Amino acid sequence: MTMISSLTDVRLAAALLVAGAVACGGSSSDSADAASDQAQTGSGSDELTAFQLEHGIGPVTEVVEVGALDPAMAQTGEEIFAMKCSSCHKIDERYVGPALGEIAQQRSATFIMNMILNPKEMYERHPETKALLAEYLSFMPDQNVTPDEARAIVEYLRSAAPGDAE
Amino acid sequence: MIRTTKFAMGLAAGVVTLLVAGCGGGTPIGGNGDAASAVYVAPGDYDEFYFFTSGGFSGQLGVYGLPSGRLLKQVPIFSQWAENGWGYTEETKAMLETSYGFVPWGDSHHPELSQTDGVIDGRWLFINENNTPRIARIDLTTFETAEIIEIPNSAGNHASPFVTQNTEYTVAATRFSVPTPQADVPIDSYKENFSGMLSFVKVADNGRMNIAFQILVPGYNYDLSHSGKGPSHGWSFFTSYNSEQANTLLEVNASQNDKDYIAAVNWMRAEECVANGQGERWASNYVHNYFNDQHIAVSDMENGTTVITPATCSDMVYYLPTPKSPHGVDVDPSGLLIAAGGKLAAVIPVHSFTKMITAIENEDFIGEVEGIPILRYESIIAGEVQNPGLGPLHTEFDGKGYAYTSAFISSEIVKWSLETFEVVDRIPAYYSIGHLSIPGGDTREPWGKWVIALNKVTKDRYLPTGPELAHSAQLIDISGDKMRLLLDFPTVGEPHYAQALPASLIKDKQVQIYPIEDNHHPRATKREADARVEREGRNVRVYMTTIRTHFVPDNIEGIQVGDSVFFHVTNLEQDWDVPHGFAITGANTSELLLMPGETRTLVWVPKRIGVYPFYCTDFCSALHQEMQGYARVSPRGSSVPISFNTP
């Protein structure tokens, strides 16, 4: 009997607690602000700048000028590519992700680097990256690459062309 | 469209917040006011503290958030853990090696966070194993057990692993005295042949443990410990019971004496004696397990410890008479008061460190046991807390002048003043509280927000689950004059002891991935192009990679019945929170669970011909269901050659 009555008391008290708590408020603004901040950052419908549309969104915020092909850098890039990219990308055929033989002609070096370095935000905000996701249905993961390494990968991709891959 | 949805979610979150925002005027549950808001952590928000609970007979460690009581993780330590392959994989099973061979289960007891200058520093957590004496060190950047050291010449490692003020040492002691070194003697020759051992394990700057010395002491049951701090730095205190030296029916026969002893150990003096060559080298075999720089657990068979005795090293150990069968021994934040949980005593005796030193200087002794002077109780006592509840066990401190002692039999926490030794508040625990924990409550600087009751009996507090019920913790607010129960939450195994630290100390130091460049595992496959299968006699080695969302290779032929197939699987992912799993039909072991950049090995011995699927067990992407492969098993002696596919 004691058990039953104490359970009832607890339920009643819980109901009253909710009712009582509704009335006061006052300390809710911080959390509400935080919630709306999250809504904004995750919205994905914000306007991109012309730079972002052409060169992507990420840590590379100035156009990376590429000059004559640097074979040594391309060699470094190829080694990183083999470890961190080749599980999903081939040069001359579609695999998990797109073939990359012509990517260096299709996209700016800056765009490629931002895509490598900041894939999550690119998928959230960049219309062309979103379109790629719709086509390939796999997110390109962040592979923990440094900006210098991303630059070297670009150099490798510049050096690679369909048919040249190992 | 998207914006509307997000806005609606934001609005909803705001409403929820409004609903739960406390104002202190609500109708109380049992007088608890806005308990709900005090423990509410909104979805997506973090808890303020990490709370580490002993897993008890699970052998592991529970990690919870406070104040919510949400279970965040179980860290496997002393028991095999099939969920992630701990103790099953080739890379981790050495962690469970002992001088008795592979021991797949342990009884973890007391989590103890490392300290610097008597304050929790967030480097490591130590925890002891009672059954096959061991101490483990958990790395708080990976929440992985980094090292386990066996304690030789000991039995029932209970008074452990409490650290000294700067984590110079973590300690171990004998709860069940035994012939030391072990010998085939009649059990009833206990008084003649049984001893205890107090072990000091040095902790290097990189955390590596090493048994520095062991102190051979009379054959009592050494139960709990704490080290001195501030003025008492350099001393460690161990409770003992069974000064009667009974070897049967201890519940009666070890409860005869009015007082047992706290052993006060001057470990700086012990260091001197060891340095002076007063120790004796014993041929003690024990095993020391740790990860090498390839992130593979290795076991060193160690031989020899340095043993010193109070008779040969004077001024090292003193006995403080303490009523009655004391359990906990707890040093207050000032380092000057030593409270004992005399579990059969009518009072809580509180010894004075200052008086203890004076008594030692005055040689105010009432006797001696095996070279250990026994101090006069009346000369060292600072005060006795009257009416402390029945069965006082453990005490923690809030840093604001109060102590909180758990009382098992009367199932309550009593709060008492360190100045007057008077009880000022008490609150029931549901039920049968053992340890209790205040964040930093055994250090020089406690965070005196809550005390957490760690209860042995749960009875009717949760939905019933058959004969076995969860143990539980209860979060109690101690910020005001009166203790206030906020929350119950069930715990894993038996939460003997627990410690907490502010999340800000460690949350930004968490390792997210293992860089693939730094993977030095000798059988790692760091690029798909290197994936392969090789036969070495009756062993087949599969060098396999995983990435969202495929294995390479994923078709393997040429395996024969009875081969040992080593799947050396490397997770090429470099993104946080993207583990892959690996399992294959009929494997007589656990799955693999591979963190990004990690290599782990499963050994499969196929028993029947056929084609067997393997697959990823940890949901990893939209195409996770496609992450699978096949291994073909041919008869013994088959001519099917080893073959495998690569992209």
Q: pLDDT of B498-549, one tens digit each?
A: 999 999 999 999 999 999 999 999 999 999 999 999 999 999 999 999 999 9
Res. A42 pLDDT band, cuts 50 70 90: very low
**What interhelical angle do A2-22 and B2-20 show, nearest 10?**
120
Residue B647: band (very low, low, confident or very high) from pLDDT cuts 50, 70, 90: confident
Kindly report the nearest CA distance between residue B631 and chain A, in angstroms: 21
| Paired residues of B350 in beta bridges | B339, B383
| Banded pLDDT at A32 (limits 50, 70, 90) | very low
Question: pLDDT at position A163, please?
Answer: 53
* Other beta carbons less than 10 A from residue B217's beta carbon: 28
Q: Are B10 and A27 in contact (CB < 8 Å)? A: no
Helices A29-41 and B2-20, axial angle in degrees (round to 10): 160
| Contact residues on chain B for A16, CB-CB shorter than 8 A | 26-27
- When scoring B572, B594, B627 by the number of chain A Cβ atoms within 10 A, the one with the most, hence best to mutate, is B572
What are residue B563's phi and psi, to 5 degrees? -65, 155
Cα B421 from Cα B349, distance rounded (Å): 10
Chain B positions touching A76 (Cβ under 8 A) are: none
What is the Cα–Cα distance from B50 to B452, expressed in whole angstroms?
Answer: 13
Percentage with pLDDT > 70 across chain B: 95
pLDDT at A46: 72
**Residues near B568 by Cβ (< 8 Å), separated by ≥ 6?**
B521, B523, B524, B525, B541, B542, B543, B544, B599, B600, B601
For residue A166, pLDDT over 90 is answered with: no
Worst-scoring range by mean pLDDT, A40-44, B162-166, B496-500? A40-44
What's the pLDDT tens digit per position in A68-107? 999 999 999 999 999 999 999 999 999 999 999 999 999 9
Structure tokens at A12: 């009643």
Total residue count of chain A as it appears in this document: 166
| CA pair distance B144, B297, nearest whole angstrom | 12
Q: How far apart are CA B63 and CA B70, in angstroms?
A: 9
B608-618 pLDDT, tens digit each = 999 999 999 99
User: What's the pLDDT tens digit per position in B293-302?
Assistant: 999 999 999 9
What are phi and psi for residue B316, nearest 5 degrees? -105, -40
Is the pLDDT score of B318 beyond 70? Answer: yes
Model pLDDT, residue A162: 65
Q: Extract the tokens encoding B385.
A: 């807390």
For residue B472, give Cα distances in angstroms to B62, B91, B428, B448, B519: 12, 34, 14, 21, 40
Q: Contact, B545 vs B570, CB < 8 A?
A: yes
B255: buried, middle or exposed (CB in 10 Å: 19+, 13-18, 0-12)?
middle
3-state DSSP assignment of residue B425: strand
In whole angstroms, give the CA distance from residue B181 to residue B200.
Answer: 17
Length of chain B: 647
For chain B, the average pLDDT equals 94
Cβ-contact B170, B201 below 8 angstroms: yes
- Partnered with residue B178 across adjacent β-strands are B195
pLDDT in tens, B404-455: 999 999 999 999 999 999 999 999 999 999 999 999 999 999 999 999 999 9
The DSSP string of B208-268 is -EEEEEEEEEESSEEEEEEE--GGGTTEEEEEEE-TT---S-HHHHTS-SS-EEEEEEEHH
Give the separation between CA B157 and CA B175, rounded to whole angstroms. Answer: 6
What's the rounded mean pLDDT across residues B234-239?
A: 98
Inter-chain contacts counted by CB atoms under 8 A, chains A and B: 135
pLDDT tens digits, B343-381: 899 999 999 999 999 999 999 999 999 999 999 999 999
Beta bridge partners of B102: B97
Q: Indicate whether B63 pLDDT > 60.
A: yes
- pLDDT of B482 over the 80 cut: yes
Distance of alpha carbon B294 from alpha carbon B290, whole angstroms: 11
State the complex-level ipTM: 0.76
- pLDDT digits over B185-214, tens only? 999 999 999 999 999 999 999 999 999 999
Q: What does the pLDDT look like over B377-397, one tens digit per residue?
A: 999 999 999 999 999 999 999
Residues of B whose CB is below 8 A from A41: none
Q: How many CA atoms, within 13 angstroms, populate the side-chain half-sphere of residue B69?
A: 21
Q: Residue B323 above 90 pLDDT? A: yes
Mutate to test the interface with B, among A6, A10, A137, A142 (most CBs of B within 10 A): A142
- From the candidates B17, B518, B530, which should be mutated to test the interface with A, based on the most A CB atoms within 10 A? B17
Please check the confidence at residue A49 and state whether its pLDDT lies above 80.
yes
Q: Which residues of B47-63 are buried (b: 16+ CB within 10 A; e: fewer)?
A: bbbbbbbbbbbbbbbbb
Check residues B471 and B17 and name the one with the higher pLDDT.
B471
Q: If you search the block for the tokens 């200087």, which residue do you land on?
A: B361
- Tell me if residue B166 falls in helix, strand or coil: coil
**Contact A95/B34, CB-based, under 8 Å?**
no
Q: Output the pLDDT for position B6.
A: 38
Interchain contact, A28 vs B18, CB within 8 Å: yes
The answer to whether the Cβ–Cβ distance between B37 and A21 falls below 8 Å is yes
Q: Which of A14, A44, A138 minimises the CB distance to B621?
A: A138
pLDDT at residue B33, rounded to an integer:
63
Comparing A69-83, A123-137, A150-164, B589-603, the range with the smallest average pLDDT is A150-164
pLDDT at A138 (0 to 100): 86
Residue spans of beta strands (DSSP E) within B260-311: 260-266, 280-291, 297-308
> Could you give the maximum distance between any two Cα atoms of chain B, in Å?
87
User: So what's the pLDDT on residue B64?
Assistant: 98
